[in-house]
């Protein structure tokens, strides 16, 4: 299977047809599995014989999703989780211990920051936040007990690009793991493992599903790390993906490459249009030649992605008025959906981040984030124009 191109893997990898000869993947909504004998049960429980045991950690539908995503990311193994957050939690709980240190980009998903500052801290794991783009800062704060480097690229919501090859070089030199949350790009646009990452994290909730139907996550990497550590933790702690959700994500993966191409095309058109609008102060999109890291973005990702952020001229009230004037767009913090969504990061996704940290991360009160969906781009522009035109 691994010799196929990614578009084919997304549709066909990881599935074994049952005796019913179905063409679309079956769902296995079963909590447990039956054994032919007591001896077989014992062999399954001890791990001597491979096979299904209990759906907290082995389920055929979930396994199909795991194998498909692993092949798409170019990793040996994948473990699916109940959410993107539980993918991050499971990775850190499995691989770190009290006294360990993590270096993370400051430009990460707001809830991940809360997880680090509030919960990992309780267990004696310290996280130092650095600039996404300043390599010397990463190098400076790495300590002998640093076990992992963590980032998302492009970042949410400012689309800052991290130099993955350079940061993976630092990780190798310091003997620590390099972990990349690949939620924004998906393996269709960017494969972090090929650029030196050890572990890729996903929120399947976003583009992998693509139609806003379910919550899920995944961790992809080497068999040694994913199976022996992350799945072992998952098996014990239980943040597992349900077979129903795995099936939804499988159907999502089937159309991922065509959806990503369409998201990227519309996002670029929207970013260009916003750049020309007199009520807009600044646009953030890696596919614009004006993006400060356009060259690096071109090397790492095959297209700009589906997320566009911009600062309106003014403050929170101007940003909110643009959002509130929309008739068609969904005012919601979710992203990666066929439905275009609009959000005010400072008061939603990043509201639990300390105000000073928020400003440091560039999440100003006049910032608006759009996850560009698959409606007509002309309708999306018209809906935004109604609020923007009033600000001129």
Ligand X SMILES: *Cc1c(COP(=O)(O)O)cnc(C)c1O
Residues that bind ligand X (CB under 6 A): 83-85, 109, 112, 152, 156, 181, 183, 203, 205-206, 215, 217
CB of 113 to ligand X, least distance (A): 11
Residue 64: alpha-carbon gap to chain centroid = 19
User: Is residue 204 classed exposed, middle or buried when 0-12, 13-18 and 19+ CB atoms within 10 A define those classes?
Assistant: buried
Nearer of residues 238 and 315 to ligand X, judged by Cβ: 238
Q: Give one DSSP letter per residue of 69-97, joined into a string.
A: HHHHHT-SEEEEESSHHHHHHHHHHHH--
Nearer of residues 138 and 150 to ligand X, judged by Cβ: 150
Residue nearest to ligand X (CB): 84
Nearer of residues 72 and 388 to ligand X, judged by Cβ: 72
CB of 86 to ligand X, least distance (A): 7
Structural element, H or E, at residue 343: strand 341-343
Nearer of residues 100 and 181 to ligand X, judged by Cβ: 181
Interacting residues of 260 by C-beta distance below 8 A, sequence separation 6+: 186, 188, 189, 207, 303, 306
CB of 344 to ligand X, least distance (A): 16
Nearer of residues 64 and 349 to ligand X, judged by Cβ: 349
3-state secondary structure (DSSP) of residue 128: strand
CB of 339 to ligand X, least distance (A): 16
CB of 40 to ligand X, least distance (A): 36
Interacting residues of 167 by C-beta distance below 8 A, sequence separation 6+: 135, 138, 149, 151, 178, 196
User: In angstroms, rounded to a whole number, what is the distance separating the alpha carbons of residues 267 and 7?
Assistant: 21
CB of 358 to ligand X, least distance (A): 16
Compute the radius of gyration of the chain from its Cα atoms. Answer: 21
- Whose CA is closest to 357, among 122, 130, 88, 126? 130
Nearer of residues 67 and 341 to ligand X, judged by Cβ: 341
């Amino acid at each position: 299977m691994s010799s196929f191109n990614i578009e084919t893997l997304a549709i066909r990898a990881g599935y074994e047809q049952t005796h019913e000869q179905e063409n679309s993947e079956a769902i296995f909504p079963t909590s447990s599995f039956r054994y032919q004998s007591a001896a077989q049960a014992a062999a399954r429980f001890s791990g001597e014989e491979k096979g299904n045991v209990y759906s907290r950690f082995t389920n055929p539908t979930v396994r199909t999703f795991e194998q498909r995503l692993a092949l798409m990311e170019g990793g040996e193994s994948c473990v699916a989780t109940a959410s993107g957050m539980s993918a991050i939690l499971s990775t850190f709980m499995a691989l770190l211990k009290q006294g360990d240190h993590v270096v993370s980009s400051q430009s990460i998903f707001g809830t991940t920051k809360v997880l680090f500052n509030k919960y990992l801290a309780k267990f004696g794991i310290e996280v130092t936040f650095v600039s996404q783009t300043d390599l010397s800062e990463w190098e400076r704060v790495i300590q002998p007990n640093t076990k992992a480097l963590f980032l998302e690229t492009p970042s949410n919501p400012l689309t800052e690009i991290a130099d993955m090859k350079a940061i993976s070089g630092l990780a190798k030199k310091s003997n620590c793991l390099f972990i990349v949350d690949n939620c924004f790009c998906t393996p269709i646009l960017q494969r972090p493992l090929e650029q030196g990452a050890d572990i890729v994290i996903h929120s399947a909730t976003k583009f992998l599903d693509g139609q806003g139907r379910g919550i899920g996550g995944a961790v992809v990497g080497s068999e040694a790390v994913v199976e022996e550590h992350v799945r072992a933790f998952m098996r014990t702690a239980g943040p597992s993906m349900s077979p129903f959700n795995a099936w939804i994500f499988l159907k999502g993966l089937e159309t991922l490459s065509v959806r990503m191409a369409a998201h990227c095309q519309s996002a670029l058109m929207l970013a260009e249009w916003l750049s020309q609008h007199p009520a807009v102060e600044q646009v953030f999109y890696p596919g614009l030649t004006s993006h400060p890291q356009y060259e690096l973005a071109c090397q790492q990702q095959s297209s700009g992605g589906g997320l566009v952020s911009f600062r309106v001229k003014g403050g929170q009230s101007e940003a909110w008025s643009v959002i509130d004037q929309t008739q068609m767009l969904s005012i919601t913090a979710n992203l990666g959906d066929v439905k275009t969504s609009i959000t005010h990061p400072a008061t939603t996704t990043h509201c639990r981040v300390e105000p000073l940290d928020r400003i440091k991360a560039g999440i100003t009160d006049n910032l608006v984030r759009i996850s560009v969906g698959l409606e007509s781009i002309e309708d999306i522009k018209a809906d935004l124009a109604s609020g923007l035109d009033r600000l001129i």
